[in-house]
A and B are shown apart, each in its own frame.
Chain A
């Protein structure tokens, strides 16, 4: 799932302060789960903005909506009839949602209300951590199900590096060393042999390095 966190409110205020009518648009997909962009967060952000502009004695109408998803046209279409009446939208969906809304309503200004962070999991309530960098050529089968690209700070494929200490990464005592985890897992699986063979350079063309990516599934295109 895609993780995001709210932008500092000052940044949002700075973008919208010149307008009179704003729509705050949430998304009930990923960003709702990580408590950054769902219905509840729409309410919180909208009330904070109302309070701010109220204190400034600025007459500002701030409305709320939360869509099922912002990365699908069919759900974006739900605001087709009302979007015309707003000066701008603050979308608190992920970066993809913000862009797709911009594409669909290209006469409107759509501002991002969150910082989109990573693909990850809910580790415990209120704690989300990264697991995948969408490299486009998954190697988890070789690494005991733990991703060295997302979980090693240097995305080393022949790890660990010399900075691994007590199971932690050299960059931070709170960050587990991905390669320590891989090692433990391979040991459990009896697959330590995988360690001894050098892994050759990866083809990054399927990753962001190959330029904007696209998937086509022909049998879905009817």
Chain B
């Protein structure tokens, strides 16, 4: 498979390897050392590190600056971008900046509504939605055109491998695949899914993707988040929009002694990866160990995904 950008993630996928991606949430301060630490911790065990963009509408150090930092440390970042806080002018401007610093992956998101963030009185933007952001990046990269029609010469266009998120567990379930198809039609090349706990439903979703041949056009990276505690599992089930945590997950965590719950959560994540390796259409794993990055190396190793392949 030929590649469209210098992205390492794209190359790994094109070479037929399972990709492994992870995530790093920047701090709520200027403390760059936190980004450094997280990147050094997970960097050697993954292909690329996503940097979240004011996730859950909480103000954090900007994704672009953190991505540049990660790049300087020798790892490859994925610039997450939501359309909540910037209009098409701001978004395109940041995409140009990302291109200038050699950032080669972008994840296009609409973003959580600010109602539950730390600035609920803020105005939101939503000039574009995630699908339109995908279209925008593609147009800038492939046609060398900004949305307004202005042209960029070849060689000075952002070279971005385009990703999007999808939640197989949101409603209405029937149109989840349709919506994915739409993102693919817009230009999405890889998909990071919402954290998977309901394996049955995920496989059903995956089956529909394979049936439509969408897996030929887009690489699906299955979202894996280890449960740290019973409390976390219950919280995710009850409070996090669009999260599907079956009761068996909670029961299994409750079934082990309290000091073993976290280890059980990690084991469950490893088992999930192993099971999903066999699931047709799954091309990699997006491991989101939320504020628990220290577990990423163990999960990657135990799931047989380490060492990461070299590509050039």
User: Which residue on A lies nearest to B193, using beta carbons?
Assistant: A162
Contacts of B185 in A (CB 8 A): 196-198
| Distance (whole angstroms) from the CB of B264 to the closest CB of chain A | 27
- A201 at interface, CB cutoff 8 A: yes
A161 touches B110 (CB 8 A): yes
B124 touches A154 (CB 8 A): yes
- A160 at interface, CB cutoff 8 A: yes
Given contacts A159-B129, A198-B182, contact A166 B113 (CB under 8 A): no
- A156 at interface, CB cutoff 8 A: yes
- B35 at interface, CB cutoff 8 A: no
Contacts of B242 in A (CB 8 A): 162-165, 170
User: How far, in angstroms, from A159 to B119 measured CA to CA in the complex?
Assistant: 24
| Distance (whole angstroms) from the CB of B139 to the closest CB of chain A | 10
Stretch of B166-174, B203-211, B273-281 that contacts chain A: B166-174
A164, A180, A197, most chain B CB atoms within 10 A: A164
- B217 at interface, CB cutoff 8 A: no
Contacts of B84 in A (CB 8 A): 154
Q: Which single member of B112, B132, B194 contacts A158 (CB below 8 Å)?
A: B132
- A119 at interface, CB cutoff 8 A: no
User: How far, in angstroms, from A183 to B173 measured CA to CA in the complex?
Assistant: 11
| Distance (whole angstroms) from the CB of B121 to the closest CB of chain A | 14
Count of A-B contacts with CB under 8 A? 104
A156 touches B127 (CB 8 A): no
User: How far, in angstroms, from A192 to B179 measured CA to CA in the complex?
Assistant: 11
User: How far, in angstroms, from A163 to B165 measured CA to CA in the complex?
Assistant: 12
Contacts of A158 in B (CB 8 A): 129-132, 179, 182, 186
- A195 at interface, CB cutoff 8 A: yes
User: How far, in angstroms, from A36 to B242 measured CA to CA in the complex?
Assistant: 37
Contacts of A154 in B (CB 8 A): 84, 110-111, 113, 124, 126, 129
User: How far, in angstroms, from A159 to B179 measured CA to CA in the complex?
Assistant: 8
Chosen A-B contacts, 13 in total, with CB atoms closer than 8 Å, are A154-B84, A160-B175, A162-B166, A162-B170, A162-B194, A163-B112, A163-B242, A165-B171, A195-B178, A196-B181, A198-B182, A198-B185, A199-B131
- B88 at interface, CB cutoff 8 A: yes
- A139 at interface, CB cutoff 8 A: no
B186 touches A195 (CB 8 A): no
| Distance (whole angstroms) from the CB of B176 to the closest CB of chain A | 9
User: Which residue on A lies nearest to B168, using beta carbons?
Assistant: A162
B115 touches A171 (CB 8 A): yes
B116, B172, B178, B181, most chain A CB atoms within 10 A: B172
Given contacts A195-B179, A198-B132, contact A153 B113 (CB under 8 A): yes
- A121 at interface, CB cutoff 8 A: no
Q: Which single member of A156, A167, A170, A197 contacts B129 (CB below 8 Å)?
A: A156
| Distance (whole angstroms) from the CB of B285 to the closest CB of chain A | 19
| Distance (whole angstroms) from the CB of B131 to the closest CB of chain A | 4
| Distance (whole angstroms) from the CB of A81 to the closest CB of chain B | 43
- B135 at interface, CB cutoff 8 A: yes
| Distance (whole angstroms) from the CB of B214 to the closest CB of chain A | 12
Given contacts A154-B113, A198-B185, A201-B147, contact A167 B131 (CB under 8 A): no
Contacts of A162 in B (CB 8 A): 165-167, 170, 194, 241-242
Q: Which single member of A153, A167, A199, A200 contacts B171 (CB below 8 Å)?
A: A167
Contacts of B66 in A (CB 8 A): none
| Distance (whole angstroms) from the CB of B82 to the closest CB of chain A | 10
- A155 at interface, CB cutoff 8 A: yes
Q: Which single member of A159, A163, A195, A204 contacts B113 (CB below 8 Å)?
A: A163
- A132 at interface, CB cutoff 8 A: no
User: How far, in angstroms, from A196 to B130 measured CA to CA in the complex?
Assistant: 15
User: How far, in angstroms, from A160 to B172 measured CA to CA in the complex?
Assistant: 8
B146-190 Cβ-contact flags toward A at 8 Å (1 or 0): 010000000000000000011100111001001101110110000
- B136 at interface, CB cutoff 8 A: yes
3 nearest interchain CB pairs?
A162-B167, A158-B131, A170-B241
A159, A162, A171, A196, most chain B CB atoms within 10 A: A162
User: How far, in angstroms, from A177 to B171 measured CA to CA in the complex?
Assistant: 10
| Distance (whole angstroms) from the CB of B93 to the closest CB of chain A | 16
B182 touches A166 (CB 8 A): no
User: How far, in angstroms, from A164 to B112 measured CA to CA in the complex?
Assistant: 11
- B64 at interface, CB cutoff 8 A: no
Given contacts A180-B171, A180-B172, A195-B178, contact A165 B241 (CB under 8 A): yes
Contacts of B130 in A (CB 8 A): 156, 158, 161
Q: Which single member of B165, B172, B186 contacts A164 (CB below 8 Å)?
A: B172
User: Which residue on B lies nearest to A161, using beta carbons?
Assistant: B110
Contacts of B186 in A (CB 8 A): 158, 198
Contacts of B172 in A (CB 8 A): 160, 164, 167, 180, 183-184
Taking A162-B165, A162-B170 as known contacts, 5 extra A-B pairs with beta carbons closer than 8 A to each other, sorted by chain A number, are A154-B113, A158-B179, A163-B112, A165-B241, A170-B112
Contacts of A167 in B (CB 8 A): 171-172
